[in-house]
Structure 1
Amino acid sequence: MGLRLPRIVKAKASLKRILSSSEIAASVPKCHFVVYVGEAEKKRFVVPISFLNHPSFQNLLSRAEEEYGFDHPMGALTIPCTEEAFIESH
């Protein structure tokens, strides 16, 4: 499995745009970002940026891109999996 640099670049650009919002940025520690996880109800997680390099998280990003693209109406990165699957992927 190769690293898909264009996807990561798009994701990072999207994260910068999302984190520039003062309301969200105020509640997110430095070097972390917000993801919403869930299929029906979305739960908010604040995760370290280092997760972007983890193969399991990259797989989840690929799934999110396929389902939502990087311009999701929730205003943050949304991962289309169950909360349990997200937690187990770390």
Structure 2
Amino acid sequence: MFAPRLRRSLSYLNEDQLVAAIAGVPDDVREGHFAVLAIKGEETKRFVIELDYLNDPAFLGLLDLAKEEYGFRNKGALAVPCRPQELQKILDDRKVY
């Protein structure tokens, strides 16, 4: 039913958890990507970002802010406390290189 590589990487889950984990990923979040919400006041925008950004110093700074703001109890999509334009600038600046 599931691809062998995926099954091995999620082998710590039982069959029901595996189905839920796969079903819970939105279609626009491709392999090698993750969803992030940029939230500041009333402004909220959802981004789908490549995993490589987890090594980007500017993005890591946002994760530090998220840890301070929300702690580790946040459920659901990863949220960072910044205006969507700020996150977009980080994404755009990296594409220049």
TM-score for the superposition, normalised by structure 1 = 0.68
Q: What is the deviation of 1:42?
A: 2.1
Q: Report the RMSD for the aligned CA atoms in angstroms.
A: 1.6
Q: Structure 2 vs 1, CA of residues 70 and 21 (structure 1 numbering), >3 Å: closer, same or farther?
A: farther
Cα pair 1:35 1:76 within 8 Å, conserved: yes
Max Rg structure: 2
Structure 1 unaligned runs (5+)? 1-19
* Whole-angstrom CA distance in 1 between matches of 2:67 and 2:53: 16
CA distance in 2, matches of 1:84, 1:61: 16
The 1:25/1:70 distance shift into structure 2, 3 A limit, reads: farther
Return the letter of the residue paired with 1:83: P
Identity over aligned residues, as a percent? 37
Q: Which ranges of structure 2 fall in alignment gaps of 5 or more residues?
A: 1-20, 92-97
Give the number of the structure with larger relative contact order, counting CA–CA contacts within 8 Å between residues 6 or more apart.
1
Distance 2:44 2:82 in 1: 10
Contact kept in structure 1, 2:43 and 2:83, CA below 8 Å? no
The 3 A distance-change label for structure 1 pair 86 and 50 is same
